[in-house]
Amino acid sequence: MFAIVDYDTGNTRNLQKALTYLKVPTVLTADPTVLAQAEAVILPGVGAFAAAMQALTERQLVPVLQRLGRDGKPMLGICLGMQLLFESSTEYGVHPGLGLLTGNVAALPTDLGVKVPQMGWNENHVQRPTTPFVGIDGAYTYFVHSYYAVSPANQIVASVQHGVTVPSIVQKQNVIGMQFHPEKSGQVGLDQLATFKKMVSANDFSSN
């Protein structure tokens, strides 16, 4: 069973529907014991970084997620959930994140001739040919965000161009992030969730 972190942010219903379609049982929970017992933990999220971290803090989930991630629990962050996996964000001040991925979250530049927020479909380019996510190369996924991860190259699995290079999939061993919404990206998004499912089932994150 996959545990989806319940902290009152993110469209969890569509995510649960997508996973149900892939025959992945899910539970929406903020219970540390359930999170620890799950095969994998998914951290969704929309909205502001600081408010999301505050919601996790109020539920005493920050140390729980940090411990699970560092202990090897498969973890997937989606959209804002991916950004929360990084060390910090400069959205409306400087705010610490979970620190499971190296790097920081910064505003998309507004002076490069592209619309901010990035809202719509964009083409992914795989940066690591050995990744299980290689099928996303050249495929379009759906994005809604004004901030992006400034990540070391060795964590970037795939990226899109939106004025700057925006990491679309990142991975550091068992911790994976998707900046796009797989649950809103049609068959391509389902394929990426299915790939994560296969990685969890095989307990194989060695391609990072």
Name the residues annotated as catalytic: 79, 181, 183
What is the C-alpha separation between 69 and 173, in angstroms, rounded? 10
CB atoms within 10 A of CB 204: 10
Q: What is the dihedral of CA 178, 107, 46, 75, to 10 degrees?
A: 30
Q: What does the buried/exposed string (b/e) look like for 50-72 if buried means 16 or more CB atoms within 10 Å of the residue's CB? A: ebbbebbeebebbebbeebbeee
End-to-end CA distance of the chain: 24
Residue 39 has, within 13 A of its CA and on its CB side, a CA count of 15
Is residue 114 within 8 A of residue 151, CB to CB? The reply is no
Residue 145 has, within 13 A of its CA and on its CB side, a CA count of 32
